[in-house]
Structure 1
Amino acid sequence: MRKLTGFEAKIAPYTAELRVYCLRLARNHWDAEDLYQEVMMRVFQYYRNSGDIRQARPLLYRVARNLRIDQYRRSRMQSNCVSLEERSDPGACLADACPEYVAVRSLVEWTAEHLTKREMCMLFLFAVFRYTYREIAEELGCTLSAVRMVLHRSKLVLRSSANTGGSAIKTDVRGKVVDFWTKALLHQTPSSRQNVSI
């Protein structure tokens, strides 16, 4: 039995499940195999440039998902059935390529209907990314009491809207903020204070 190279040793435990994941994304064996090969090439290039892969599994999955989304966008752009709005919106029609996209986007849009940018930021940092009150205050340059007050109010507003089916209130949240938080939640990457000023 031959000895595995450094790259092979890093990815070998995940290749079988990566093939299954590629098949789930591509929905047919031919495209899945092409996607798998492309992922391997991209990850190998990354390994060659960086010299190491610290977390192979998340990297393989992220590259596969991003490549599939890119392929889907290209195919949609080449077809004549895409509206001008979809062509200009980088987040449009990703449901087939990334099934969780629709659920996450819907959650962010619903939250954006009821909260301001600052409230959304604090709530997502606290509830999703598990920041402490102190970390949120430092990140956003405000006091601990302001964080407590905003989070308390935000939870009350969302709870009330969910329970009563209340109508949305006017907020200062725009599409860029919704796009920002959708990507942040999908990629599990917390943001910085820049998101408040988007």
Structure 2
Amino acid sequence: MLDEQIERYGARLYALCLRLCRNRFDADDLYQDTWYKAMRAYRKYDPARPFDTWLTTICVNTYRDQYRRRKLAEVLGFGRDEQPDFWENVAAPPDDPYPEVREAVDALPESLRLVVTLYYFEDCDIAQTARLLGVPEGTVKSRLARARAKLKGVLDDDGG
């Protein structure tokens, strides 16, 4: 049963992982962790609800857990000092028509970047985004407004 779901939703999930992690190495790990957690929790899945929403929730929560652990490690002085930031050394994909927009979104604070990614790139509406992130709809709306303002400022300064 899960094989059919992987076949059906695998590419979409991997695209979300890439948007969240911003590099292939972390995206690969997130993708595998998400499917592993989905497999372990599959018996708890309610077939009356959309599978892709359930899977996206697992992915976003897994990403947020990884992000918190990474930030804690940085605060404690582990990890980042010795390793160059991989993403800074990767050029935009050649088919990316708006690399300055991607870079501006990537530079947003994590809470704003998550909302923008889910709302604009994953086509989640306000209610879905709120459910996925576990925040009120008003919080999603205010984060979107703040993100738009920041993006507008950055893109206007760059002449875009």
Calculate the TM-score normalised by the size of structure 2: 0.48
